Amino acid sequence: MTSRDGGRGLEGRTALVTGGGSGIGRGICRELARAGARLLAADISYEGALDTVDLLSLDGHQARPVALDVTDSAAIGGIRSRLEAEGWMPDVLVNNAAIFGMAAIEDIEPAEWDRMIEVNLKGPFLMMQAFIPRMIEQRWGRVVSISSTAGKTGEAFASHYCAAKRGLIALSRSVSLEVAPHVTVNCICPGFVETPMTRTETRFWQSRDPNISEAEVRMRMRNQIPLGRMGRPEDIAGAVRWLSLPVNDYITGQAINVDGGLDFH
C-alpha cells in the first residue's frame, strides 16, 4: 500500500510498538518499517526486542530495541524523557503488548484479574498518557491498539481477558474524541491468529476434554471462520499499517475486525 503521493507513507515518522519482540508485534514492526518508519521495538523481553531489531536491520531499516514493562508508569516516563532527548519520540504508537489466559469465573484469582487488566488495559492507558501530548503538540499522530473480537462478543472462560479488551475499545473511543482532529485513535480486533495465545486456548479446551486432539480443536476454530484459515501476524500488521498512514486521516474512534469474517459489526 502506498500513499497518494507515491511514497511508502511513513517516511520521516517514528513508530513505537509494544510487545514488538515476537508474534503480531514483530509483524507490525516489520510492516511499519517497510512503510518507511523508524522503529522502536519495545518489549518486556529485551532479547526479543533485540531480535526484532536485528531482523529489521538486516533489511536495511532503522530501528532500536526498548526494554519496557507497560505497567510501570515510572519506567515509561523515563523512556519518554530519553526518547525526547534523543529525537526518537514516536509519531505512531501501537499498543500491542498483552497477556491471555482462560479460566472459569469461579477459578479466577483476584491477582490474576488485576494482572489481566493491568497489562491489557492500564498499559495502553499509560502509553497514551505518555506519548499523545507530543502528538497533539505537533498536530499529527496515530494510535492503534490491538484489542480482540472477544472484546466485542465475549468468550466463555475468558471473562477477565474480554473485560480488558472491551475496556480498551472504550478507552480508545473516548480518547479519540479528545484528541481529534489531528490525532487518530483506533483499535484492531483480531480473531483467531497463529500465535502462542491461540495455542494457550487450544490447550485449555483439551484440558476440559482429554479425548479431543489439538488438531480437532484447531479444526473447530477454523470452521468458524468464513475465509477458512487462521489469521497470520501479517494480516494484523497490514491493517495497522493502513490505519497509520497519513492518507487515512478520516478514520478515528473505530474498532475494526480483522478476523476472516468470524464476527460481524
Matching residue, cell 475468558: 158
Catalytic residue ranges:
161
pLDDT bracket for residue 6 (50, 70, 90): very low
CB burial readout 127-161, b (16+ within 10 A) else e: bbebbbebbeeeeebbbbbbbbbbbbeeeebbbbb
pLDDT bracket for residue 46 (50, 70, 90): very high
> What are 157-161's contacts with CB under 8 Å, separation 24+?
157/102, 157/103, 157/104, 157/204, 158/100, 158/101, 158/102, 159/105, 159/108, 160/101, 160/103, 160/108, 160/112, 160/113, 160/116, 160/117, 161/100, 161/101, 161/102, 161/116, 161/120
Q: What is the mean pLDDT of the chain?
A: 94
Measuring CA to CA, which residue among 248, 240, 255 is closest to residue 24? Answer: 240
Phi, psi of 82 (to 5 degrees): -65, -45
- In whole angstroms, what is the distance from residue 83 CA to residue 140 CA? 18
pLDDT bracket for residue 210 (50, 70, 90): confident
Measuring CA to CA, which residue among 216, 151, 245 is closest to residue 190? Answer: 151
Measuring CA to CA, which residue among 226, 201, 224, 225 is closest to residue 214? Answer: 201
Rounded to a whole number, what is the largest CA-CA distance in the chain?
58
Condensed to tens digits (0 to 9), the pLDDT of residues 68-103 reads: 999 999 999 999 999 999 999 999 999 999 999 999
Condensed to tens digits (0 to 9), the pLDDT of residues 246-257 reads: 999 999 999 999
Task: Please name each of the domains of the chain with its CATH number.
Answer: 14-191+232-257 (3.40.50.720), 195-230 (no CATH)
- In whole angstroms, what is the distance from residue 252 CA to residue 176 CA? 6
Radius of gyration of the chain (CA): 18
More confidently predicted of 195 and 112: 112
Q: Which residues face 94 on adjacent strands?
A: 17, 144
Its pTM stands at 0.94
Condensed to tens digits (0 to 9), the pLDDT of residues 123-179 reads: 999 999 999 999 999 999 999 999 999 999 999 999 999 999 999 999 999 999 999
Query: pLDDT > 90: what percent of the chain?
Result: 85
Q: Which residues face 41 on adjacent strands?
A: 17, 65
pLDDT bracket for residue 265 (50, 70, 90): low
| Residue-level pLDDT at 237 | 98
Phi, psi of 146 (to 5 degrees): -90, 105
| Residue-level pLDDT at 5 | 38
